[in-house]
Amino acid sequence: MKTYSPTGILAARSGYRVNLVGLVSFFVVLFWALVALFAPYIAPHSVGEMIDLDYFGPMRPGLWLGSDYLGRDMLSRVIFGARYTVGISLAAVSIACFTGVVLGMTSAVLRGPVDMVVSRLLDALNSIPSKLFGLMVVAAVGSSIPVLILTLSVIYIPGAYRFSRALAVNIETMDFIMVARIRGEKLPYLIGSEILPNIIGPVLADLGLRFVFIVLLLSGLSFLGLGVQPPYADWGALVRENIGGLPFAAPAVIVPSLAIATLTISVNLLIDNLPQKIRDRSTS
Amino acid sequence: MTNLVEIRGLTVEATTDSGRWIQILKGIDLDIAAGETVAFIGESGSGKTTAAMTLLGYARPGCRISGGTVKVDGHDMVTLSEKERSALRGTTVAYVPQSAAAAFNPAATIMDQVIEVTRIHGLMPPDEARRRAVALFRALSLPDPDGIGDRYPHQVSGGQLQRLAAAMALIGDPKVVIFDEPTTALDVTTQVEVLRAFKAVTAQRRVACVYVSHDLAVVAQIADRIMVLRNGEVQETGSVHDILTRPTHPYTKELLHAFHPDAGGRTAAPVSDDSAPLLEINTLSAGYGPPQSNGQPLVLAVKGVSLQVKRGTNLGIIGESGCGKSTLARSIAGILPACKGDIQFNGKELWHSARQRSHDQLRDLQIVFQHADTALNPAKSIEDILGRPLTFYHGLRGRARDARVDALLDMVRLPRALRHRRPAELSGGQKQRVNFARALAAEPKLILCDEITSALDTVVAAAIIDLLKELQRELGLSYVFISHDLSVIEAICDEIIVMYRGQTVETIVPAARQQPQHPYSKLLFSSVPKLDPTWLDTLDLDPERMRVA
């Protein structure tokens, strides 16, 4: 029974205990999601259009975030960059967590040889350094968005698998699983209806965390020039192409860095401060 | 003359999830004289442990002592500072927990832990403390009193550990000792020894005792006075004799009544004897661990058990923990495939493993587990829990399913509004009813009940037993009832099998007023506490029977 200081609590009508930090970070995440979704409607210019004669221009009316190394509108580029950073990461994390969690629960229920084979295979995959693996795949088959999504999800499947398997193994020893087994229930029901509802809270938290890792890895790959290809750019690529503006304190290099920071930190804070009832689901 | 303990107008509050404070003890008054034993009795949630803990000046996290005084030997435990309370704990007031196994540190020797109190309070040099401990071990009739202190907690039995916990409490020469359900987790045969040891030591040292329990028969042996608690209020206080013979409060009467479940309530088996048995087991063996060269598992828990259950009759299986009774139930249900023997059910041979059994065979044979807490999925509503077997076995959906869930809730006497709740929002008795209703949903012919009442209070357990009998009359079910509680089994079973070390030692038919013949059954039957306060003192466990145990 934790007690929270009353200042941090907005007592919501729904019976959920909402935390102020959680609320703020939720709005930041929502902001970036909306930006990514409606990018073509809110961006003042197109991605490749050169509108400024100067490069690394400062912030001024009309060019709210300055211009980049080719004199393009930085605001538009950040807005479109959100599409790639949020979109690719979301797709990759969905694939990674769905595959990992389903495999993890299956291994926990079936045990024996299935568990052994799947666990060892994914352990082997886990032992490859993630950035190196990404570099290798992109070097071998070239960089395109589907390749990026698949590579990123393969890198994060073993982690999701280990996490969900560890949770599911604890649930699997409970009597209600035994009851379901001797009722004659099959695997899909066991993992979908008996185990998943009991681990969904931690799994969602893990999903958020993994999303942050993927954003960072994707930005890292783009920074090395292996991610999204020009003229399109995600935030990592924006940092890289404008790195020359660092001595000029150009907003072009600071803004995308800030974008990455706000998104990842907010997602993290949101996970840590989810409305209480949701996070307590596994224990209540 | 002032009393050793004086409690006046004690109230304790607990906070709820939404931060509201509610009273869980509502004004308790009690006096305890030196050397007197007072028992706090009541169902779980009645506040008996909370009341006992206030003697230590302790309230559990989320609780606070909100009013009244608790004077122990002249000190008011409520107003003392935490430091002053610490000085009194162990020397004036001591505590013996319910589960000694959880209270001992597995990484330190028993002696170090027993004399820890004298070290903390600087009472005496370690050598003297050790001598005193050995004397206490001897007084508590522990085996090998000189050497037992050098062992680690896992090297002694549960009953011995419970007595060692008492030694730990007594070493600081306290004036009051609180026993918190110290024998609840023990077998009846072990319980007798532990109770005797407690009674002898506390009488000899003139220690005042507070004995918290829900078992009236145990309390009758050890207490001078009984305080009956319910919902944080004292229902009745009186001497053991008065409470047992002249209870005035309705709840006390209910408690006493629950102790004598009427075996006469069962109607005779409606089906004639010549029909084929519903369940027949021949020389069944089952165990754990990898198979050995002779085809048997490493540890054999059930060794060649044969039994029969006729339609509409009940079979009881009784024995101490570790005798293989639960393993037997699990191998009948197919959870733990038997390694030898055969199971005939409803005229057909059953596969040993549940996986190979047919849909109908699985439906006709249901098992209900002991712990409703773990047997019900905490993430699902009662409706979903009861509805799944209806859909799975009978293909019911939508409105038909809803109607049947309502009917099931009616059957187990639960309000229909509970269907939207989660298991965590129900009481222990309600959960066990849902657990049972799920088995009924399958419309089985036989239900295996594995210790289904042992986690419940006497009054709640008696209500469940009555329910089982009633459902049997209505639905023509058969039960295999596994328990270590003889009174429960006698109340419901037509035939009782006594198990000991994986084998059946005797079959008893209670209706025939048959007395146990085998030495172990005799020991088991005579160890069940009786309400008679002189039972423990007059109990004669003859040496021949003790040797078998």
Q: Tell me the CA distances in angstroms from B131 to A48, B57, B425, one per residue in order.
A: 90, 30, 51
What pLDDT, on a 0 to 100 scale, did the predictor assign at position B177?
A: 92
Do residues A77 and A232 touch, judged by C-beta distance below 8 A?
A: no
Measured between CA atoms, the residue of chain A closest to residue B358 is A184
Interface of B with A in 411-440 (CB under 8 A): 422, 424, 438
**Rounded distance between C-alpha atoms, residue A277 and residue A14, angstroms:** 10
- CB–CB of A195/A204 below 8 Å? no
Report yes or no: B420 and B383 within 8 Å, Cβ to Cβ.
yes
B362 with A185: Cβ contact below 8 A:
no
CB contact under 8 A, A176 and B374: yes
pLDDT tens digits along A114-143: 999 999 999 999 999 988 898 889 889 988
Mean pLDDT of A38-51: 84
CB contact A277 to B (< 8 Å): no
Tell which wins on pLDDT, A272 or A267: A267
pLDDT at position A93 is 94
The C-alpha of A100 sits at a distance from chain B's nearest C-alpha, in angstroms, of 22
Pair B281, B306: CB distance under 8 Å: yes
Amino acid A10: pLDDT: 45
Q: How far apart are CA A256 and CA A239, in angstroms?
A: 6
Average pLDDT over residues A214-224: 88
The verdict on A181 touching B (C-beta cutoff 8 Å) is yes
Predicted confidence at residue A92, as pLDDT, reads 95
User: Do B393 and B387 touch, CB atoms closer than 8 A?
Assistant: no
| Residue B542, pLDDT score | 53
Please tell me which of the candidates B367, B374, B379 has its beta carbon nearest to residue A182: B367
Q: What ipTM goes with this model?
A: 0.75
Q: Is A140 on the interface with B (CB under 8 A)?
A: no
Chain A CB contacts of B392 under 8 Å are 183-185
Angle ∠(B494,B500,B504) on CA atoms, nearest 5: 50
Q: What integer pLDDT is reported at residue B512 of this predicted model?
A: 66
When pLDDT is cut at 50, 70 and 90, the band that residue A163 belongs to is very high
Q: What is the pLDDT of residue B246?
A: 83
Report the alpha-carbon distance of residue B67 to residue B313 in Å, rounded.
Answer: 55
How high does pLDDT run on average in chain B? 84
Residue A95 has a pLDDT of 95
Q: Does A4 touch chain B (CB under 8 A)?
A: no
Q: Which residues of chain B have pLDDT under 50?
A: 1, 263-272, 543-549
Instruction: List, in order, residues 6 or more apart from A246 with CB less than 8 Å away.
Output: A253
The 10s digit of each residue's pLDDT in A62-119 is 788 888 888 888 899 999 999 889 899 999 999 999 999 999 999 999 988 999 999 9
The closest CB to that of A197, out of B379, B389, B424, belongs to B379
Contact (CB<8Å) A182/B362: yes
Q: Do residues B242 and B35 touch, judged by C-beta distance below 8 A?
A: no
Contact (CB, 8 A) for B308 and B301: no
- The residue-averaged pLDDT of A215-236 equals 86
How high is the pLDDT of residue B434? 92
Task: State the average pLDDT for chain A.
Answer: 85
